[in-house]
Amino acid sequence: MQTDMDDKNILDAATEGEYKYGFVTDIDTHVIPKGLDEDVIRYISSIKGEPEWLLDFRLKAYRHWLTMKMPDWAHLDIPPIDFNAISYYAAPKKKEGLKSMDDVDPELRKTFDKLGISLEEQMRLSGVAVDAVMDSVSVKTTYKERLAELGVIFCSISEAVRDYPDLVKKYLGTVVPYTDNFYAALNSAVFSDGSFVYIPKGVRCPMELSTYFRINAADTGQFERTLIVADDDAYVSYLEGCTAPMRDENQLHAAIVEIVVEDRAMVKYSTVQNWYPGDKDGKGGIYNFVTKRGLCRGDFSKLSWTQVETGSAITWKYPSCVLAGDNSVGEFYSVALTNNYQQADTGTKMIHIGKNSRSTIVSKGISAGHSQNSYRGLVRVAKQAANCRNYTQCDSLLLSDTSGAHTFPYIDVRNDSSVVEHEATTSKINEDQIFYCNQRGIPTEDAIGLIVNGYAKEVLTKLPMEFAVEAQKLLQVSLEGSIG
């Protein structure tokens, strides 16, 4: 009855207050001055001791970025961003040679304890290997030794550049080139750290790999970059969580996730995104402008994205699958909840190139308060991609008459043997359901929490267990105060 215990916790947690991850950790941080030019990029590259080719990559990206404009096609109202008012590198100051957990700054460890991901705990109990990225630098990666026995590489991308330069060079920028979009170019120029995962041929990674991201320092941007490669017949499930302190200013998070999936390999990527969403009046919060894309290069490869998006003031994010391999499979399961003055424009792209490739999209949007919540998705079937299938279901639930729910699917089919289906519904929360709960003694706010979690269940069940519980709590907590 594991689920029941967890469900109980959810109900308990629902009575707790607002954004509970909004603490600031008081640790010594190394922040470089605000602003961006080639010198800053050279500086970032040099403190990380990077090889010449990576500096070149960064500089090319930067020069390209200078020619680009912020994208304006999303259904978002983005205030102008002064990219010179951001510091592009912030790291907890490093003590020489971290040997064990004891060497990690105690304050930093407290932070992760508050996040509920005590490293020891994770190591000991759940078998989750955690790579924690604080601001921009990967702090400590647990479980590395056990993984190493299997040949699994799980480390920060900085370490990977140092220790596995050939692998990184082979894959970096191959799925998301620096020319891809404005934020991808910026990230390519200034990315500071992130995770690197390589699963060798035939290896089924025995544990969930997990990264926790946290923005701590003020006036900094976070630009992490994650690269996951699953070689032939490999399998990995990867989790990503995020939090940030409550601050009145907006902070920028522009990450890139690149995934390469080879023949018959499978990658499952789960995100619970809970960046600080701003306060009740829309002040503060993270701008979450993220490019996530996987290339299902191999035949029979599979990539599954699951995301629960409750945080960030503005979200601009489209985890995508390029289904290049024959019989490859792409999945996207999403719950996006917006409250107060949050804005989200999120969805996916499924690009069918391989024959018999299949994709499934399930998107559940929930809009409360004065928020705007948009699904935007592209399904493209190339001419040579015979016998492809796509099914898209995207539902929107409105909890207030001042919020908005929008659906912008793009369907582009170029052959006569593929079937693409898109269905969408938008409706307000069902009053009969609320009354039924009321009659059984459940107050309206709790009833809405139950109904919303039920509505999102199809997606939540795709998450690994520990994450599903957290996600359910988040949905409930994020809705608090939304019912007038």
Partner 1 sequence: MTAMLEIKDLHAQIEGKEILKGIDLTVNEGEVHAIMGPNGSGKSTLASVLAGNPAFAVTGGSVTFNGKDLLAMSPEDRSHEGLFLSFQYPVEIPGVSMVNFMRAAVNEKRKYYHQEPLSASEFLKLMREKRAIVELDNKLASRSVNEGFSGGEKKRNEIFQMAMLQPKLSILDETDSGLDIDALRTVAGGVNKLKTDKNATIVITHYQRLLDYIKPDFVHVLYKGRIVKTGGPELALVLEDKGYDWIKQEFEDSKG
Partner 2 sequence: MSSIKQYIDLYNEFGPRINTASHEVLNAMRPAALASLNECRMPSKGDENYEISDLDAIYSPDYGVNIDRLDVAVDTEEPFRCDVPNLSTILFYASNDIYHDNQLASSQLPKGVVVASMRSAEVDEVVKRYYGKVAPIDNPQVALNTLLAQDGMLVYVPAGTVVEKPIQLVNLSRAASPMMTNRRMLIVVEDMAQVKMLVCDHTQSGDVDLLNTQVIEVVVGKGATFDFYDLEEASAGTHRVSSMWVRQAADSNVLINGITLMNGTTRNDYHIEIDGERAETQLLGMAIASGSQHVDNHTYIGHNVGYCRSNELFKYVLDDDAVGAFAGKILVAPGSPRTEAYQSNRNICASGNAKMFTKPQLEIYTDDVKCGHGATVGQLDQDAMFYMQTRGISCREARTLLMQAFMSDIIDGVRLDALKDRLRHLVEKRFAGTLAQCRSCTVAQVCHTKIKKK
Q: How far apart are CA 137 and CA 93, in angstroms?
A: 10
Residue 453 binding partner 1, by CB under 8 A: yes
Task: Select 206 or 404, whichever has its Cβ closest to partner 2.
Answer: 404
- Residue 219: name its binding partner from partner 2, partner 1, none (Cβ under 5 to 8 Å by kind): none
Q: How far apart are CA 250 and CA 288, in angstroms?
A: 10
Please report how close the Cβ of residue 78 comes to partner 1 at its closest, in angstroms: 33
Residue 179 binding partner 2, by CB under 8 A: no
Bridge-based pairing state of the strands 372-381 and 404-413: parallel
Number of residues that bind partner 2 (CB under 8 A): 37
Q: How far apart are CA 155 and CA 164, in angstroms?
A: 10
Q: Which of 197, 286, 324, 437 binds partner 1 (CB under 8 A)?
A: 437
- Residue 149: name its binding partner from partner 1, partner 2, none (Cβ under 5 to 8 Å by kind): none
- Residue 113: name its binding partner from partner 2, partner 1, none (Cβ under 5 to 8 Å by kind): none
Please report how close the Cβ of residue 437 comes to partner 1 at its closest, in angstroms: 7
CB atoms within 10 A of CB 203: 20
Please report how close the Cβ of residue 327 comes to partner 2 at its closest, in angstroms: 19
Evaluate whether 408 touches 375 at the Cβ level (below 8 Å).
yes
Residue 5 binding partner 1, by CB under 8 A: yes
Residue 325: helix, strand or coil by DSSP?
coil
Q: Which of 98, 163, 248, 436 binds partner 1 (CB under 8 A)?
A: 436
Residue 4 binding partner 1, by CB under 8 A: yes
Task: Select 32 or 442, whichever has its Cβ closest to partner 1.
Answer: 442
Instruction: Using alpha carbons, list the distances in angstroms from residue 154 to 132, 208, 251.
Output: 12, 11, 28
DSSP assignment, residue 126?
I
Q: How far apart are CA 274 and CA 295, in angstroms?
A: 26
Evaluate whether 325 touches 356 at the Cβ level (below 8 Å).
no
Residue 463 binding partner 1, by CB under 8 A: no
Q: Which of 177, 458, 480, 481 binds partner 1 (CB under 8 A)?
A: 458
Please report how close the Cβ of residue 326 comes to partner 2 at its closest, in angstroms: 17
- Residue 11: name its binding partner from partner 2, partner 1, none (Cβ under 5 to 8 Å by kind): partner 1
Q: Which of 61, 450, 471, 479 binds partner 1 (CB under 8 A)?
A: 450
Site map 392..431 versus partner 2, x via CB under 8 A: ----x-xxxxxxxxxxxxxxxxxxxxxxxxxxxxxxxx--
Q: Which of 71, 127, 202, 443 binds partner 1 (CB under 8 A)?
A: 443
- Sheet strands (E) in 223-313: 225-230, 235-243, 250-253, 256-261, 266-273, 285-296, 302-309
Instruction: Using alpha carbons, list the distances in angstroms from residue 72 to 65, 186, 354, 440.
Output: 16, 16, 31, 48
Nearest alpha carbon to residue 46 among 37, 55, 57, 34: 55
- What single-letter amino acid sits at 363? S
Nearest alpha carbon to residue 54 among 157, 132, 176: 157
- At residue 200, what are phi and psi to the nearest 5 degrees? -70, 170
Residue 427 binding partner 1, by CB under 8 A: no
Residue 260 binding partner 1, by CB under 8 A: no
CA 79 to chain centroid: 22
Please report how close the Cβ of residue 477 comes to partner 1 at its closest, in angstroms: 16
Rg of the Cα trace of the chain? 21
- Residue 396: name its binding partner from partner 2, partner 1, none (Cβ under 5 to 8 Å by kind): partner 2
Task: Select 46 or 384, whichever has its Cβ closest to partner 2.
Answer: 384
Residue 8 binding partner 1, by CB under 8 A: yes
Q: Which of 126, 387, 393, 433 binds partner 1 (CB under 8 A)?
A: 433
- Residue 404: name its binding partner from partner 2, partner 1, none (Cβ under 5 to 8 Å by kind): partner 2
Q: Which residue has the tokens 């990674």?
A: 205
Q: How far apart are CA 196 and CA 156, in angstroms?
A: 6
Q: How far apart are CA 127 and CA 56, in angstroms?
A: 38
Binding stretches for partner 1 (CB under 8 A): 1, 4-5, 7-8, 11, 430-433, 435-444, 446, 450-451, 453-458
Binding stretches for partner 2 (CB under 8 A): 73, 75, 381, 383, 396, 398-429
